[in-house]
Amino acid sequence: MPKLKIFPWQLCHASLPTKATLSKKCMNIDSLCPFCQSEIEDQNHLFLHCPISQEYWTLAVAHNWINSNFISSQYYSILQRLLSPINATFATKIERVLSLLLSIWNTRNNIVFSNETSIPGSILIRAKKATAEGCIRHKLTQPFHPPNPN
């Protein structure tokens, strides 16, 4: 899960190479969102305001992956959503949200660089798989303590 260590830093520092970020660095590219093709792709649009991304969040709520408070309209930035209460343990909340954000980012990259299409269910499956693999990896790195025979 090295990407889950770099990705949050990039997200928090607004340094993900979105089309808006790249355009500001004088790159001559189409800056429209690769999902909806109707707005400029910056982090907030890509992850929160894009109608396609909103479908992913709605699907995650419908499958009880995240709490509906996370996608309510009272929040206006990704960071506030990450730090908002979600009625789950802090670690699980952050891990699930970051996995879904990373899955959206990876899907975006597949669309931009490989001309693939997105399927909402596959994004949630990818996020769940990454989280499960992270849990297993974490458990495998913990020292084994055999049960007390008493």
What mean pLDDT is predicted for residues 47-69? 88
Give every CB contact of residue 130 below 8 A, 6+ residues apart in sequence. 1, 4, 99, 102, 103
Which segment of 16-25, 38-47, 75-84 scores lowest on mean pLDDT? 75-84
DSSP 50: S
Check residue 119 and give its pLDDT. 83
- Output the six-digit token pair for 138: 């974490």
* pLDDT at res. 31: 92
As a whole number, the mean pLDDT across the chain is 80
92 or 131: which carries more pLDDT confidence? 131
Per-residue model confidence as pLDDT tens digits over 74-126 = 444 555 555 555 444 556 777 888 889 999 999 999 999 999 988 878 989 99
% of the chain residues with pLDDT over 90 = 33
CA-wise closest residue to 112 among 38, 21, 31: 31
